[in-house]
Amino acid sequence: MPNGSLDRYIGKVSLDWKTRYRILSGLASALLYLHEECGNPVVHRDVKPNNVMLDSEFNAHLGDFGIARLLQNDNFGNTMAAGTPGYLAPEVSYTGRATLESDVYSFGMVVLEVVCGRRSRGMMEENSLVDHVWTTHEKNELFTCVDPTLEGKFDEEEVRRSILVGLACMHPDRRHRPRMRKVVQIFMNPDEPLIKIAVSRPTAVSLPLHSSHSDSIASEFSSNKAPAEGKGSMDSLPDEMTVVFDDR
């Protein structure tokens, strides 16, 4: 692609807001195609700026399907955890299962990086990008996190919608992340209702108990709790287990 990857333009070479918004819209459309429009859903598993290629007009093309997986009769990719630290959804680290929702999480991180003009190594780093954006949201000062190289030359409504989409996509509980169809509608239609997000940053991670890794978590969970009378310890476990964490 003539303009290389998106990685070279985050915190390095500045792009105007119109171009950034077009890139995010194109990437969202690519993921919508993979998740809902190409037959059996495909989970990319490594959505990040390095894998977003830009043509001569800065249209986004998602590349590098080396670790992508086809989802057939269930919602989980039965593979070992793979991807790039900083873009992996929190539940993937626990379960090793790639899902459409984990792609959505990675997309959310890319959105925040593009808007803020800053790369992130993940939520656990000191003064993380995600923590910074949440702080501006909580203080109702959302525009203070926008890339300063734009010098205030951006569409405020598009920026607001982009940041809120990014935060919604990065919800730690995968069940609360939007589908890519909703994301595309928000980017393409200024009248599309926004996703409601919490005033304060949520911290609960929901873990599906469907993999060998999560089975070990479930076994440890059940061994530390006495089962109810008349019930087997594993039979009494729910399909999802919620873990609360605090990375601040």
Cα separation of 158 and 161, whole Å?
5
| Token pair belonging to 159 | 């920026």
User: At residue 140, what are phi and psi to the nearest 5 degrees?
Assistant: 60, 40
Alpha-helical runs (H) found in 72-190 = 90-95, 100-116, 129-138, 156-169, 180-188
DSSP 8-class letter at 204: E
46 catalytic residue (yes or no): yes
User: At residue 60, what are phi and psi to the nearest 5 degrees?
Assistant: -85, 140
Element (H, E) at 219: helix 212-223
Asked whether 146 and 115 are in contact (CB, 8 A), the reply is yes
Amino acid at 95: T
Cα separation of 121 and 91, whole Å?
17
Nearest to 183 by CA among 54, 40, 12, 36: 36
> CA 192, 183, 156 angle in degrees (round to 5)?
65
Asked whether 86 and 121 are in contact (CB, 8 A), the reply is yes
Instruction: Exactly one of 46, 103, 147, 173 is catalytic; name it.
Output: 46
| Token pair belonging to 198 | 């919490």
Asked whether 161 and 186 are in contact (CB, 8 A), the reply is yes
- The residues assigned a catalytic role are 46
